[in-house]
Amino acid sequence: MRPHLTLFLGIFAVMALSNAIVPVLPVYDPSSGLQGMIYSAYFLGAFFLTLPAGMMSDRFGRVPFIRLGLALTVTSGIFLTMATGPVPVLTLRFLEGMGAGLFVAAAMSSVNSDPDHIRMSGWLMASLNFGLIAGLLGAGWLASALTFPAAGLLLFTLIAIVPSLTAFFIRDAPIIHGRPEPDSVSAYVVQYRWLLVSSLILIGVTGVLTSLYPDYSGASPDVLALWIAGMNVATIAAVMIYSRTTVHPVPVIRWSAILMGIFVLISFYSPPGFLVIGALAGIVMIAQMAYLAKVHEHQGTVMGLFSTTSYLGMALMPPAAGFVADSQGFFAAFLLTALCAGFVAVTIGRCTCAGGSLEDPGEPGRGNEQ
């Protein structure tokens, strides 16, 4: 596990910084739509760079992109602590997301190429969600205790400096395969299209709830942080348990989508619905990564595609739900989100596994798509 410690600490810091703005979103603009845009600008930046970073890591190695991503995260975090007003914050969130896109694609490719990739992906996702929790709770508590709303941003920027320095002491794995051709990338998109759609929507659902609740609930930042953090606690527990099981990925994703749609509506009435949604999201992510681990030739590319669709969901769904909430009300936004999860439950059935377990989801190109 030692070679992966920088990755685990890095993804903790990157995610903590990304979530540190959530409890103080109303400080930057009172509109739900613009709050959703500020929240999602980060994911839009990651969306643009995640796939290119994954493809380039297959050609040049992963470590350069791990280092560059962490450096950009630290730089944007420093300027975010001084920014005021929606326009500069939107710009810096976009740059911060670009840093995350560079780092996450390379880090996930490294972990998913490990012989013990299922257990390692569990640790990576646990670190990711622990970072999200720390960002929410730390920023929420500091915003309530101090008169400086960006105190949480400053704290996690300082923490991100540590993995950005230790990244210079890690070594890259040998490059076995060269750059994938455009035809092979499009083939991966076609072959895994319904899995990628499930990533876009089901991960986007968690972003919708996270971005809507500050305005919908009217709760103080510290209470709001506790509610949303519960979702990430449940995700950590789920990924650590599910990464040690042997279960068909596709049926798990289907039932998770159905339950997620139900609990989105429950969350409209009761915040504890966050807990179930968080657990389901963790299960979905591990199943999706295990499914894609069988692509040995261009793991950076397929992890880039997986991360790209996840970030696209986080970039598109929260602002869309925010604008629906502004025009039609919050219940309409929650209902639309639940229907999107139901769409995954219907379409994921077109994606079948040749293997019978999480550990052997079937060789790519051998009956995985119908």
Lookup: tokens for 276? 């179930």
Q: CA-CA distance, 234 to 305, in Å (whole number)?
A: 26
Lookup: tokens for 82? 């001084």
**Residues 83, 25 contacting (CB under 8 angstroms):** no
Distances (CA, A) of 333 to 182, 216, 272: 37, 11, 18
Q: CA-CA distance, 141 to 5, in Å (whole number)?
A: 27
Q: Is 173 strand, coil or helix?
A: coil
Q: CA-CA distance, 146 to 225, in Å (whole number)?
A: 16
Residue 354's pLDDT is what? 39
Residue 1's pLDDT is what? 47
Residues of the chain with pLDDT under 70: 1-3, 30, 32, 114-117, 172-184, 221-222, 225, 246-247, 295-297, 351-370
> What count of residues does the chain have?
370
Residue 360's pLDDT is what? 45
**Residues 71, 99 contacting (CB under 8 angstroms):** yes
Q: Which helix (H) or strand (E) holds 35?
A: helix 32-60
pTM of whole model > 0.75?
no
Token match 């840093």: residue?
99
Residue 348's pLDDT is what? 86
Residue 173's pLDDT is what? 61
Q: Is 369 strand, coil or helix?
A: strand
Residue 181's pLDDT is what? 54
Going by C-alpha positions, the residue among 126, 127, 156 that lies closest to residue 141 is 156
Residue 352's pLDDT is what? 47
Lookup: tokens for 220? 């103080």
Domains assigned to the chain: 2-168+184-350 (1.20.1250.20)
**Residues 222, 141 contacting (CB under 8 angstroms):** yes
Residue 147's pLDDT is what? 77
Phi, psi of 367 (to 5 degrees): 90, 10
